[in-house]
Chains A and B, each alone.
Chain A
Amino acid sequence: EAGVTQFPSHSVIEKGQTVTLRCDPISGHDNLYWYRRVMGKEIKFLLHFVKESKQDESGMPNNRFLAERTGGTYSTLKVQPAELEDSGVYFCASSQADSYEQYFGPGTRLTVT
């Protein structure tokens, strides 16, 4: 069974540009989470999808971040326009319905210069 995959693994962009991160959860997992780790800080929750619906987006830092999960399969996280403080590692995780056990992807390292 394939695990959670994320693309790209690394992205370097300039301040003001747009970047889109993609996450493919484990097949059949209804729950999809996005987390972020800024250098030197803890991993922080961004938002949670149940199928295609946003269950909880309380962790989204501001309106420059837009997450979608069309069709309840893969998800994208767009940052537009990117700022320096957006640099970090973005993790995606998925879990089965009503399960607390989350499976994480390898992360996307975003560097904004």
Chain B
Amino acid sequence: AQSVTQLGSHVSVSEGALVLLRCNYSSSVPPYLFWYVQYPNQGLQLLLKYTSAATLVKGINGFEAEFKKSETSFHLTKPSAHMSDAAEYFCAVSESGAGSYQLTFGKGTKLSVIP
């Protein structure tokens, strides 16, 4: 069974400050890991993904995440927050090698960016 824990349902950062959104997972097999973003009134958009290649993954809009197996973590970071980053972010896990790549999501973290 898989599970995802996102620490912090709401995170506020100042514009230009570091963004750090935390995600820990559990999986019985090597996982595929994802970060999705949902802007207001829009669907989920894939930010980045880890699929057992490089442990440091770069995504769109300047975001990146590092897979740390020893810590079972996949935290999302961005060096400098922009007002347009305000959205809800979801971490998700999928089991590699399975017939169905169904996603197990965390509860989401709403990011607010303060001018």
Residues of A near any B CB (own CB < 8 A): 3-4, 31, 33, 35, 41-45, 48, 55-56, 59, 91, 93, 95, 99-107
Distance (whole angstroms) from the CB of B4 to the closest CB of chain A: 8
Asked whether any CB of chain A lies closer than 8 Å to the CB of B24, the reply is no
When A41-B107, A91-B44 are in contact, do A104 and B101 touch as well, CB less than 8 Å? no
When A91-B43, A100-B94, A104-B44 are in contact, do A45 and B107 touch as well, CB less than 8 Å? no
Asked whether any CB of chain A lies closer than 8 Å to the CB of B102, the reply is yes
Asked whether any CB of chain A lies closer than 8 Å to the CB of B51, the reply is yes
CB nearest to A48 among chain B residues: B100
Q: Are A102 and B101 in contact (CB under 8 A)?
A: yes
Asked whether any CB of chain A lies closer than 8 Å to the CB of B26, the reply is no
Chain B residues with a Cβ closer than 8 Å to the other chain, count: 24
State the CA gap A33–B105 with chains docked (Å): 14
Q: Are B108 and A42 in contact (CB under 8 A)?
A: yes
16 residue pairs A–B, Cβ–Cβ below 8 Å? A3-B43, A31-B101, A35-B105, A42-B107, A43-B90, A43-B105, A43-B108, A45-B103, A48-B100, A48-B102, A59-B102, A93-B44, A100-B94, A104-B36, A104-B44, A105-B43
CB nearest to A106 among chain B residues: B43
Q: Are B100 and A55 in contact (CB under 8 A)?
A: yes
Q: Which residues of A contact B46 (CB under 8 A)?
A: 101-103
CB nearest to B51 among chain A residues: A100
Q: Mark B64-106, 1 if CB is under 8 A from A, else 0.
A: 0000000000000000000000000010001010011111111
